[in-house]
Amino acid sequence: MKSLKKIFLNGIVDENPIFRLMLGLCPTLAVTTAAINGVGMGLAATFVLVGSNLVVSLLKKLIPEKIRIPAFIVIIATFVTVVQLVMEATLPSLFNALGIFIPLIVVNCIILSRAEIFASKNTPLAAVIDGLGMGLGFTLAITLLAAFRELLGNGTLFGLTVMGSTYEPALIFIMAPGGFILLGFILAFLNAMRKEGA
Partner 1 sequence: MRDFIKLPLVLFLVALIAGMILGVTNYLTKEPIRMQHEMALRNAREELFPDSEFITLEELSLSEENDNVIAVYESQKDGILVGYIVTMEKTGYAGAILLNYGITIDGMITGVNVGTNSETPGLGAKASDVEFTGQFIGKKNVTLVKGTAIADDEISAITAATITSQAVVDGVNQAIVVSDLVMEK
Does residue 4 interact with partner 1 by CB under 8 A?
A: no
Quote the least distance from Cβ 20 to partner 1, whole Å. Answer: 26
Cβ neighbours of 30 (radius 10 Å): 16
CB 76 within 8 A of CB 115: yes
Phi-psi region of 170 (alpha: psi -120 to 50; beta: other; left: phi over 0): beta
How far apart CA 72 and CA 59 sit, in angstroms, is 10
Does residue 128 interact with partner 1 by CB under 8 A?
A: no
Quote the least distance from Cβ 25 to partner 1, whole Å. Answer: 17
CA distances from 140 to 27, 32, 127, 137, 172 (A): 14, 12, 20, 5, 22
Site map for partner 1, 78-117, x if CB under 8 A?
A: x--xx--xx-xxx-x---x--xx-----------------
Which residues form the interface with partner 1 (CB under 8 A)? 31, 33-34, 37, 59, 62-64, 66-67, 70-71, 74-75, 77-78, 81-82, 85-86, 88-90, 92, 96, 99-100, 150, 153-154, 169, 171, 174-175
